[in-house]
Amino acid sequence: MMPASFAIPYLLTAPLPPSIAVVVVPAAEQTACQPAPDPCFATVSIVARNRSNRPLLLDDLHVSLSSERRGSFEQPYDPPLPIPPFGEVTLPDRFAFHVTAGHGVLVLFHGTGERPRSRGSAHSTSGVPWEQLRHPAAAACVRCGGRVQDCWCETRDRGRLCTEVSQCQGICLFDRFEKLPEPACTPTALTRCPTVPATGFRVGHCSDLKTPLGCPNVLTERDSAARPIALPNAQIRQCFQEVKRIQPDATGSSPRR
């Protein structure tokens, strides 16, 4: 049995399994009292914390949308970022996360004497963005006059019929083509009705979120019931990015330690 006098020194020096915790931290400027450029996205930093008593080296960062396991961003670090025992490092890049989506963050690392990328730590932020990432901005709007609608992601006109993008707070999502009636014409024994190409316009509904997820069919600035288009016509697909790297890199506010 180990003497009591040696127990504490042994616990401090005994090697602990290499492990890194990944934490997503809302950026401080979200608490500023001003409407966000896109309230559906929250600016975040990623912090890697060494949970062992040995130095570790961070090799790679991968960020993706958790529900689709789709890689949105990958950053190799050359040279690797050192993380001291029980210390942490704030990664140089910052991101815009969609506040209603779950995101996956994976870091690859290795210990001294190991081969690079020999270990990995995965962290899912599912459920975190909705309650925590957007909360500071919303609270700031309440403090500064109750302009909550400037900070929340939901729209107040969700489901409303739209034929132009300006009719929605968010996006006018395509539902169908509305065909215009053909001009009235009564043929006679001497005349025939001219063949008139079918025309119409796109009809949709306003999105639930100011920036929806995925790649839906949408209406564009050119669409209007007052500007008919030829039918049949193509549908227009637009993809909205759920994970965005903030440009330019905010290395000043997220320094390597």
With a cut of 50, say whether residue 90 has pLDDT above it.
yes
CB-based contacts of 79-84 (< 8 A; 24+ apart in sequence): 80/109, 80/110, 80/116, 81/48, 81/57, 81/256, 82/55, 82/56, 82/57, 82/58, 83/20, 83/48, 83/49, 83/50, 83/55, 83/56, 83/57, 83/58, 83/109, 84/50, 84/55
Q: Give residue 24's pLDDT.
A: 83
Average pLDDT, integer, range 227-249? 82
% pLDDT > 90, the chain = 39
For the segment 145-163, what is each residue's pLDDT rounded down to a tens digit?
A: 444 444 557 788 999 999 9
For residue 111, name the pLDDT band (cuts at 50, 70, 90): very high
| DSSP letter assigned to residue 132 | I
Predicted confidence at residue 147, as pLDDT, reads: 47
Question: Residue 100: which of 74, 123, 127 has the closest Cα?
Answer: 127
Q: What's the pLDDT at 167?
A: 97
Tokens 């991101």 belong to residue:
95
Mean pLDDT of the chain: 78
Read off the amino acid at residue 36: A
pLDDT of residue 122: 82
Dihedrals phi, psi of 12, to nearest 5 degrees = -75, -25
Structural domains present in the chain: 8-151 (2.60.40.10), 154-182+198-240 (no CATH)
- Residue 41: per-residue pLDDT: 75
Phi-psi category of residue 66: left, alpha or beta, with phi > 0 → left and psi -120 to 50 → alpha? alpha
pLDDT of residue 149: 47
- pLDDT tens for residues 26-71? 776 555 555 555 667 777 889 999 999 999 999 999 888 765 555 5
Quote the CA–CA distance of 147 and 150 in Å, as a whole number.
6
Give the contacts of 226 (CB within 8 A, at least 6 positions apart): none
What pLDDT sits at residue 73?
82
Mean pLDDT of 179-185: 88
SS3 (DSSP) at 106: strand
